């Protein structure tokens, strides 16, 4: 039975031009995969050489575009390994067609390069192609691919991490592939996702002879076949049913791969991750861990720290005038916002600089504030306490006051293992941060649907998800499943975008003059850039944007539908939001809002706060 299934797998691989490696040898799978990897890099380089040839010959635009499509499908076949072992090279191979500047480590602005930039040059200008420019970009990309053939990981390919890379690719297909993130103009998303699945299946086939479970093997073969067939059906980009693909194909595939790991004893050792390696699939929200972004293990929350942090959160002692607490602006009954465009300044003179964001799921953000200036919640707390307009306090003075309070002293000693000087500035911020990390909100109706309860979403909400991840292009910035700017599978640095936000909602308006992230490093491309916020619970957190300019979600959707600031005629030169109109009709906008409602979850944090 098992032999026949392996033979069927090989036959399927041959049918889709995948099976080119020799039969796997027990104990040699990782080595064989590394050989395949080098061979596939050569295939990518050869396909780029054919694109070069077409460009030099100034072939018909359609032929050139076909060569490009073939090249990126070849790349997608090995994407899961390049992304996993060489993540530092992704920007120059298949990163967004936007200039890049780290700011923190370097203020140099690096020009875009790689597949996405070539796509933009080939598909956005009609039949007009700058052959010389595209040839130069293709040549540079091919040289980068060839250089990869000479590199090797110092530890080599290891079985547990190969499976980790395969499962990461499933996550990547969901969040970045089928959304159009890396094929925003040509919209080759589904065929490229199918190619990425081919690459994973090719690697997995090497381990088939080690699996002593014919039924699991057969299920996996069938799932890969069905998933690829679904991706390759003749469906337009905007009509593709992403919700069905995720629930019926991608999530089951991820779960099957985990079963392989478990049966082959190839699970990844415990690591500090946002999503546990033991998660069956990307939407298994119970496996998300806000401790992945703590400064260190010693900073991780405990029940005692969380209880102390909650008490401090509601205590005005930390403010300069003893009249404002954290909860004054982050009110539980308003989903930890205050319902205002901008909160009043502490001294009564105007307002604070920006809108008060929700604290729900703040633990799942790797950088804080609209301008991403803080790495950890602890430093965010310190910043807010010392800000003259927000709390106008002093952690140093707070320590002196807290030491005089025997009840607080006992709580600090209990929370911090009775260490000397338990009442300290560091422990104050860590306690409050521990409480904030407990404010998880990942049990919405949408979450229940994605984990098996198919009764929780209406037809309109399902349609809204598909628009969110497709035609609306929302999912290319608000990445599923956290729906913030931190993309799976690594959940690393959050994205910032230049949207062209207006100063008010008047018909004749102007660009808001808040420079955003630019204030940190003075990098020109970061002017007016703001961190992408989560849309979870967004129906509870109006008004919207960094300046609270939009009072309703309908206004927000209309703004995006018009192309952001470009649609209002106020866009800065560096707007990163696509300027094309989305052309959403009234029903589609209503469906988007319905989907947003399905992301509302008040049950989990009611337990934490004991409020409403």
Q: Structure tokens of 442?
A: 């990942």
Q: Region 410-428: what's the mean pLDDT?
A: 93
Count helices and strands (H / E) in the chain.
24, 2
Question: Is the pLDDT assigned to residue 532 strictly greater than 70?
Answer: yes
Per-residue pLDDT at 48: 98
The pTM is what? Answer: 0.93
Domains and CATH numbers, the chain: 2-269 (1.20.1420.20), 291-437 (1.10.760.10), 445-609 (1.10.760.10)
| Cβ contact 192:76 at 8 Å | yes
Task: Please name every residue paired with 544 in a beta bridge, in sequence order, or none if there are none.
Answer: 550
Q: Region 292-298: what's the mean pLDDT?
A: 92
Lowest mean pLDDT among 4-18, 308-322, 456-470: 4-18
| Cβ contact 495:529 at 8 Å | no
Interatomic CA distance for residues 43 and 32, integer angstroms: 17
Per-residue pLDDT at 125: 77
Question: Is the pLDDT assigned to residue 6 strictly greater than 70?
Answer: no
Lowest mean pLDDT among 1-5, 157-161, 350-354: 1-5
Q: Region 168-185: what's the mean pLDDT?
A: 97
pLDDT (tens digit per residue) in 352-399: 999 999 999 999 999 999 999 999 999 999 999 999 999 999 999 999
Task: Identify the helix (H) or strand (E) that includes residue 558.
Answer: helix 553-561
Question: Is the pLDDT assigned to residue 552 strictly greater than 80?
Answer: yes
Question: Is the pLDDT assigned to residue 151 strictly greater than 80?
Answer: no
| Cβ contact 227:197 at 8 Å | yes
288: helix, strand or coil: strand
| Cβ contact 338:331 at 8 Å | yes
Interatomic CA distance for residues 280 and 530, integer angstroms: 33
pLDDT (tens digit per residue) in 25-37: 335 899 999 999 9
Question: Is the pLDDT assigned to residue 612 strictly greater than 80?
Answer: no
pLDDT (tens digit per residue) in 211-258: 999 999 999 999 999 999 999 999 999 999 999 999 999 999 999 999
| Cβ contact 402:423 at 8 Å | yes
Question: Is the pLDDT assigned to residue 606 strictly greater than 70?
Answer: no
- Number of CB atoms found within 10 A of residue 556's CB: 21
Question: Is the pLDDT assigned to residue 504 strictly greater than 80?
Answer: yes
Question: Is the pLDDT assigned to residue 608 strictly greater than 80?
Answer: no
Interatomic CA distance for residues 583 and 471, integer angstroms: 9
pLDDT (tens digit per residue) in 93-106: 999 999 998 877 77
Interatomic CA distance for residues 370 and 530, integer angstroms: 5
Per-residue pLDDT at 339: 96
Question: Is the pLDDT assigned to residue 9 strictly greater than 50?
Answer: no
Q: Region 425-433: what's the mean pLDDT?
A: 98
């Amino acid at each position: 039975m098992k032999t026949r299934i392996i033979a069927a797998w090989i036959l399927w691989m041959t049918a889709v031009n995948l099976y080119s490696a020799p039969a796997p040898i027990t104990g040699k799978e990782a080595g064989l995969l590394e050989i395949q990897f080098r061979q596939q890099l050569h295939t990518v380089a050869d396909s780029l050489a054919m694109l070069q040839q077409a460009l030099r010959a100034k072939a018909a635009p359609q032929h050139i575009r076909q060569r490009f499509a073939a090249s990126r499908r070849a790349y997608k076949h090995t994407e899961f390994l390049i992304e996993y072992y060489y993540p530092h090279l992704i920007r120059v191979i298949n990163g967004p067609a936007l200039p890049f500047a780290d700011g923190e480590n370097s203020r140099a602005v690096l020009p875009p390069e790689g597949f996405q930039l070539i796509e933009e040059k080939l598909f956005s200008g009609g039949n007009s192609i700058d052959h010389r420019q595209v040839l130069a970009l293709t040549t540079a990309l091919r040289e980068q691919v060839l250089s990869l053939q000479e590199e090797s990981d110092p530890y080599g390919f290891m079985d547990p991490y190969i499976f980790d890379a395969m499962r990461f690719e499933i996550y990547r297909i969901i969040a970045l592939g089928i959304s159009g993130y890396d094929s925003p103009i040509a919209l080759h998303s589904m065929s490229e996702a199918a190619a990425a699945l081919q690459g994973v299946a090719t690697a997995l086939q090497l381990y088939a002879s080690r699996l002593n479970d014919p039924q699991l093997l057969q299920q996996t073969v069938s799932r890969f076949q069905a998933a690829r067939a679904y991706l390759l059906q003749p469906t337009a980009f905007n009509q593709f049913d992403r919700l069905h693909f995720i629930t019926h194909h991608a999530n089951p595939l991820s779960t099957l791969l985990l079963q392989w790991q478990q049966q082959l004893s190839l699970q990844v050792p415990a690591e500090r991750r946002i999503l546990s390696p033991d998660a069956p699939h990307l939407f298994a929200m119970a496996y998300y861990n806000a401790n992945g972004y703590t400064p260190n293990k010693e900073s991780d929350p405990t029940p005692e720290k969380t209880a102390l942090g909650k008490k401090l959160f509601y205590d005005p002692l930390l403010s300069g005038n003893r009249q404002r607490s954290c909860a004054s602006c982050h009110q539980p009954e308003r989903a930890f916002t205050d319902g205002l465009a901008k909160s009043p300044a502490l001294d009564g003179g105007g307002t604070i600089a920006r809108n008060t964001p929700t604290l729900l799921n703040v633990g799942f953000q790797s950088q804080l504030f609209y301008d991403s200036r803080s790495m950890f919640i602890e430093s965010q707390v310190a910043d807010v306490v010392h800000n003259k307009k927000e709390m106008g306090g002093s952690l140093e003075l707070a320590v002196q006051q807290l030491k005089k309070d025997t009840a607080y002293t006992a709580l600090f000693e209990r929370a911090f293992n009775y260490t000397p000087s338990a009442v300290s500035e560091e422990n104050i911020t860590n306690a409050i941060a521990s409480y904030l990390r407990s404010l998880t909100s990942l049990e919405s109706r949408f979450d229940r649907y994605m984990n098996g309860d198919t009764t929780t979403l209406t037809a309109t909400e399902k349609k809204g998800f598909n628009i969110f991840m497709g035609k609306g292009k929302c999912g290319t910035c608000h990445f599923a499943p956290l729906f913030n700017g931190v993309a799976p599978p690594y959940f690393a640095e959050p994205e910032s975008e230049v949207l062209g936000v207006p100063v008010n909602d008047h018909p004749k308006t102007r660009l808001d003059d808040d420079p955003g992230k630019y204030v940190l490093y003075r990098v020109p491309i970061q002017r007016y850039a703001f961190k992408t916020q989560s849309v979870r619970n967004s129906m509870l957190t109006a008004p919207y944007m960094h300046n609270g300019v939009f009072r309703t979600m309908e206004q927000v959707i209309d703004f995006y539908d018009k192309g952001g600031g470009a649609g209002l005629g106020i866009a800065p030169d560096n707007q990163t939001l696509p300027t094309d109109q989305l052309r959403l009709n009234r029903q589609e906008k209503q469906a988007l809002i319905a989907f947003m409602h399905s992301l509302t979850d008040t049950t989990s944090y009611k337990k934490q706060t004991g409020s409403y």
